[in-house]
Amino acid sequence: MDAPGLGRAGYQPADDDGRAARRWWDGHAEEYLDEHGDDLGVAEFRWCPEGLREDEAGLLGDLDGRRVLEVGAGAAQCTRWLRARGVDAVASDVSAGMLAAARRLDAVAGTTTPLLQADARRLPLADDAVDVVFTAYGAIPFVPDADAVHREVARVLRPGGRWVFAVTHPVRWAFPDDPGERGLTATRSYFDRTPYVEVDDDGAVAYAEYHRTVGDHVRGVTAAGLRLVDVVEPEWPPDNGRTWGGWSPLRGARIPGTAVFVARSEPPGA
Ligand SMILES: C[S@@+](CC[C@H](N)C(=O)[O-])C[C@H]1O[C@@H](n2cnc3c(N)ncnc32)[C@H](O)[C@@H]1O
C-alpha cells in the first residue's frame, strides 16, 4: 500500500486503535480513486492487483439466494458487480468519504447500492444475519486487532456461511514496497510485526498498516471458531502489464503479492 507522506513515515509502533484509518480514508477517498479507479472499475469484482476476478475464481461459492455483506468495501465496486448479477449484497465501510465515493459511482452506473457505514469490528447486524462476508483488501490491514474482525464476522455469519478476505501476501512485508528491482531483495524480517505508520506534524498517527504472518491470519480465523478451507495465492498473469503501488509484473513474476483466505462457519454438529 502506498500512502502519500504526511510527516514521519516508516515501520514504528503505532499509538492507534484503528481510528486513524477512518480519518485517512475520509481524507483520501478521491485521491485514491483518482489513482486506482481505472483498475477498480465501477462495477467490477477484482480481488487484487494481480487482477483475479470473482467470475473466474468463484471464491464466494454459489450465491443463489444468499445474503452477502462486503466489509471495508471502499467505493463498493465488488458489491455493485454482485448486485448486477442479482445477488442480495450490501456494502459496508467505516469511511463516510469512501461511501460518498460509492454514491458517486452509483450515479455513473445508474445503480443504488445498499451502503452501511460500519467498522468491521462492530457490525450493526444480528447474529447469523448473512450467508457470506468478504473483503478485497478492506478493514483487516488497517486495524491493530484483526481478531476482532474475525470474531464479528463469525457472529454475523449463519452456520455454514463463508468468510473470504484478501490481504497483502504476508511475505511482501520482508521486501521494500517498490515495484522495481529494489522490491526484489528482502530487507526486513518477515517475522517483524512492527506496523507501517505515518505520523502527522502534531505527532498523531495519520495512517497505519499492520503486518501479520500467514500463521497469524490462520490463528485469527480459527480462534474465532471458523474453519480455514483455502489460501489462494494468485499468480501474476502474463497479460497484466499494470503497476499498482508496489505490485508490478516484475515482482509478480517472482514473489506472491496477495493472499486470499477462505473460511467457513462450522454448521452445528460438524
Ligand atoms: C484498500 S481499500 C479496499 C476497498 C476496495 N476493495 C478497494 O480496493 O478500493 C480499504 C478500505 O478499508 C476501509 N476500512 C479501513 N478500516 C476499516 C474498518 N475498521 N472497518 C471497515 N472498513 C475499514 C477503508 O475505509 C477503505 O475503504
How far does residue 132's CA lie from ligand 1's centre (Å)?
A: 17
User: From atom 5 of ligand 1, which residue's Cα is the shortest distance away?
Assistant: 74
Whole-number mean pLDDT of the chain?
95
At residue 93's C-alpha, the angle toward residues 147 and 28, to 5°, is 110
User: From atom 11 of ligand 1, which residue's Cα is the shortest distance away?
Assistant: 138
Q: What is the mean pLDDT of residues 117-137?
A: 98
148 lines ligand 1 (CB under 6 A): no
Q: Using a pLDDT cut of 70, give the percent of the chain over it.
A: 96
User: From atom 4 of ligand 1, which residue's Cα is the shortest distance away?
Assistant: 74
Q: Is the pLDDT of residue 260 over 80?
A: yes
18 lines ligand 1 (CB under 6 A): yes
| Helix 19-40 and helix 96-109, axial crossing angle in degrees, nearest 10 | 20
Residue 232: all three cell numbers together: 489462494
Atom of ligand 1 nearest to the CA of 33: 9
SS3 99: helix
**pLDDT in the model for residue 4:** 45
Lowest mean pLDDT among 3-12, 151-160, 174-183: 3-12
Residue 202: all three cell numbers together: 502534531
Q: Is the pLDDT of residue 87 over 90?
A: yes
Task: Return the biggest CA–CA distance within the chain.
Answer: 54
Atom of ligand 1 nearest to the CA of 32: 9
Q: Using a pLDDT cut of 90, give the percent of the chain over it.
A: 94
How far does residue 63's CA lie from ligand 1's centre (Å)?
A: 23
Q: Is the pLDDT of residue 42 over 70?
A: yes
Res. 7 pLDDT band, cuts 50 70 90: low
Q: Rg of the chain over CA atoms, in angstroms?
A: 18
User: From atom 25 of ligand 1, which residue's Cα is the shortest distance away?
Assistant: 95
Mutate which of 25, 28, 117, 258 for ligand 1? The one with the most ligand atoms within 8 Å of its CB, which is 25
Q: Which residues of 205-238 are buried (b: 16+ CB within 10 A; e: fewer)?
A: bbbbbbbbeeeebeebbeebebebeeebebebee
Q: Which residues contact 132 (CB under 8 A, 6 or more apart)?
A: 60, 61, 63, 66, 67, 68, 69, 157, 161, 162, 163, 164
49 lines ligand 1 (CB under 6 A): no
Per-residue pLDDT tens digits for 177-221 = 999 999 999 999 999 999 999 999 888 999 999 999 999 999 999
Per-residue pLDDT tens digits for 213-255 = 999 999 999 999 999 999 999 999 999 999 999 999 999 999 9
183 lines ligand 1 (CB under 6 A): no
Q: Is the pLDDT of residue 3 over 50?
A: no
Question: What CA–CA distance (Å, rounded) separates 96 from 79?
Answer: 17
Per-residue pLDDT tens digits for 95-118 = 999 999 999 999 999 999 999 999
177 lines ligand 1 (CB under 6 A): no
Q: Is the pLDDT of residue 2 over 70?
A: no
141 lines ligand 1 (CB under 6 A): no
Question: What CA–CA distance (Å, rounded) separates 268 from 17?
Answer: 34
**pLDDT in the model for residue 122:** 98
Integer CA distances (angstroms), 144 to 63, 149, 162, 201, 221, in order: 31, 10, 23, 22, 15
Q: Which residues contact 116 (CB under 8 A, 6 or more apart)?
A: 90, 91, 92, 124
